Chains A and B, each alone.
Chain A
Amino acid sequence: MTRDQVFDRLEQVFRDVFDDDSIVLYEDTTADDIDDWDSIEHITLIAAVEQEFGMRFSMGEVSGMKDVGEMVTILAQRASK
């Protein structure tokens, strides 16, 4: 899957979780850029991303991802659907 395809699908997951259709994702988007992205919503987000892409992050990946770009890199390699 290309990075662009991952971005498109990921954006929709973010919009669903944060209930905000105006969200646009960039490589360097972080929790600071999205109002409701707190530690609790982070859990919902991780679960929703895992479900959408049919994969599981490792604990190291969850705590290590610095921005959306890094998440996209992992997803582009490991997405099963």
Chain B
Amino acid sequence: MKELEYPFDSEWILKKKKSIKRSLLADNRSRIKKKIAVLGGSTTSDVIAALELFLLEAGIEPEFYESEYKQYWQDAVFGNPELDSFAPDLIYIHTTVRNVDFTPTVRMSPEEITAALDERYARLEQMWQALDRFRCPIIQNNFEMPFFRLLGNRDVWDVHGLSNFVNRLNEKLYAYAQSHEGFYINDINWLAGNIGLEKWADTKYWYMFKYAMSLEAIPPLAFQTAAIIRSIFGKNKKCIAVDLDNTMWGGIVGDDGAENLEIGQETGTSQAFYEFQQYVKAHKDLGIILTVCSKNEEENALAGLNHPEGAVRPDDFTIIKANWEPKSINLENTAHELNIMPDAIVFADDNPAEREIVRQQTQCAVPEIGEVTDYIRVLDRSQYFEVTTLSEDDLKRGEMYKANIQRAQAQASFASYTDYLLSLEMTAEIAPFKDVYLARIAQLTNKSNQFNLTTLRCTQEQMTDFAASPDHITQYGKLVDKFGDNGVVSVAVGQRGKHPKTGEECLDIILWLMSCRVLKRDMELAMLDGFVSQAKAAGYTKLIGRYLPTAKNKMVKDFYPDTLGFSAVSASDDGCTVWELDITDYENKNHVIKVN
């Protein structure tokens, strides 16, 4: 819904929240359900109302627990039956500078103030540690600058200033975030600055209704919070597709010639395009795939991308579609070649007519990017790529996709498919979960839709628990070949269970997924070999596999019988099927990947 995309009209959203929710729920999209506990230090009803709208828009259907007014700390530390039985998938602690609950004065010694700081922080840390019992991600607001400064400009650097106190407290929050997985800071200090403190807080609403923020600041807060949540639950965008003429440079390369484009340091306009190129390029290191979608002769597009004054090079783009096909078709093809869904692409184009067509014909996100001076602001504020995890793999994702395309070209020149697979010189590392890979394992688990048998979503904390549990068998697979390192591409978890018909003990596979970029490489067989060997060592004789259908995982409907050789146990009306494999005389199935 365009009204919920940046830049949105906050007052309109709050006024129309009921009818917006009604129309979002009427669109029949499939959404993942998540239980979110909001623990507030002020009135949170409109925060929740706005958050619900942005989450529904992002494909997440939330159910909320809302703490009583200002009971955030008590709920967390002492618990309460309602919250405990709610069993949240995520906890959001909505506190503000109103909850610092301490104001230094010039009469206090620096030691007294530091002691108060430590005490205040200890209360917060006690709260987060108490919340660990839920084994779920925690989002914690940092503290924004206070509304007034008793010491004026001195307030920020003198230990007697509240601004100084808030900054020191925030530093402690960040240190906790740096050393704890699954703990995320919601940077409301930045947001308050961006909105402006005068607009951020409305003292009248505080005194009358205990709203720590003004009403107009609530939708931006909810939008930013929703961005963190959708990133945690795997709903981030994965790719930026850029138009070229007047998007990546000033001018039309086919008409003006590459040498006459506005890009570089010569004029203000050239600098604006240069900065945008830098901004786009920087996303590569975050694991975002860059592609081009432009109406151009390819030769001209490449000449523009090779402009010596530009920040990007053709090599930065995994796919370059420069032709005269409709852009909607090029974007659909791009999604197909990258094995991602079209709704994971953000399309940046200066031309409003092209944007409108793509918006109508595809599921791509198409921001209203305005003029070149607005491009960065609009993309940045839209928070498509909110970074909640940063894994080693992200740094080289673009290269991995490119190597994939090279592999497809190599495939054409071999007599048999097995010859081709052998020529890839694949080696795999297949083992129970290791700490160093847990961030990637959780990330992959939460974003894989297609090759995913059960679409079970798990937090990193749950993954850690599985790895430590005697009733679970965990396994990841990492694949390297002569074109490059694919990183961790497959994840499986089995749980001690009973055969649904005979009742005998067996290993129930609750999670089995693989990245589509290693399809048809026999990696799934290597994974099964490893899994069976672990299962046998733990004394199991039978595996149970389940397929739970979703809108996106049809490709693995017959995975257990056709690829892995399981036999049928049962099938239900909703399309769920159950399969079994006797592993007493199992023989390894993979013959093309060397497993370490």
Contacts and interface: CB of A to CB of B under 8 A. Distances in A.
Interface of A: 13, 16-19, 40, 43-44, 47-48, 51, 56, 59, 62-63
**Chain A to chain B: the 3 pairs with minimum beta-carbon distance, closest first:** A19-B18, A48-B15, A47-B215
A51 B14 CA distance: 11
- Interface size on B, as a range, is 10 to 19
Contacts of B215: 43-44, 47
Interface stretch (B99-107, B206-214, B439-447): B206-214
B17 to A, nearest CB: 7
B310 to A, nearest CB: 45
B15 A43 contact: no
Contacts of A13: 15
Contacts of A63: 208
Contact of B14 (A48, A56, A59, A62): A48
Contacts of A18: 18
B22 interface: yes
Interface in B204-250: 204-205, 207-209, 211, 215
Contacts of A51: 11, 15
Contacts of B18: 17-19
B45 interface: yes
Residue of A18, A40, A47 with most partner-chain B CB within 10 A: A47
A17 B18 CA distance: 7
Contacts of B15: 13, 16-17, 44, 47-48, 51
A16 B16 contact: yes
Nearest to A52: B15
Given A43-B211, A59-B204, A59-B208, 6 more contacts: A16-B15, A16-B16, A19-B19, A19-B22, A44-B46, A56-B204
9 contacts: A17-B18, A19-B16, A19-B22, A40-B45, A44-B215, A48-B14, A59-B204, A62-B208, A63-B208
Interface string B1-15: 000000000010011
A43 B350 CA distance: 40
B518 to A, nearest CB: 49
Given A19-B18, A19-B22, A40-B46, A47 B11 contact: yes
Nearest to A13: B15
Nearest to A57: B204
A48 B19 CA distance: 15
B364 to A, nearest CB: 31
Nearest to A63: B208
B426 to A, nearest CB: 58
Contacts of A16: 15-16, 19
A17 B12 CA distance: 10
B14 A47 contact: yes
Contacts of B204: 56, 59
Contacts of B211: 43
Given A13-B15, A48-B15, A51-B11, A43 B207 contact: no
A79 B62 CA distance: 39
Contacts of B14: 44, 47-48
A56 B204 CA distance: 10
Contacts of B207: 59
Interface string B22-33: 100000000000
A81 B85 CA distance: 50
Nearest to A43: B209
B513 to A, nearest CB: 41
A55 B301 CA distance: 54
A14 to B, nearest CB: 11
A44 B17 contact: yes
A52 B448 CA distance: 46
B361 to A, nearest CB: 32
A18 B16 CA distance: 8
Contacts of B19: 16, 19
Contacts of B208: 59, 62-63
Contacts of B16: 16, 19
A63 B209 CA distance: 11
A40 B15 CA distance: 12
Residue of A40, A44, A63 with most partner-chain B CB within 10 A: A44
B259 to A, nearest CB: 52
B531 to A, nearest CB: 52
Contacts of A43: 46, 205, 209, 211, 215
A55 to B, nearest CB: 13
Contacts of A59: 204, 207-208
Nearest to B207: A59
Contacts of B46: 40, 43-44
Contacts of B205: 43
B222 to A, nearest CB: 14
B217 to A, nearest CB: 12
A36 to B, nearest CB: 8
B209 to A, nearest CB: 5
Interface string B298-336: 000000000000000000000000000000000000000
A68 to B, nearest CB: 17
Contacts of B209: 43
Interface string B328-350: 00000000000000000000000
A18 B14 CA distance: 11
Contacts of B11: 47-48, 51
A51 B19 CA distance: 18
Nearest to A39: B209
A19 B215 CA distance: 19
A74 B215 CA distance: 22
A9 to B, nearest CB: 13
Nearest to B214: A47
Interface string B184-211: 0000000000000000000011011101
Nearest to B11: A51
B53 to A, nearest CB: 13
B26 to A, nearest CB: 13
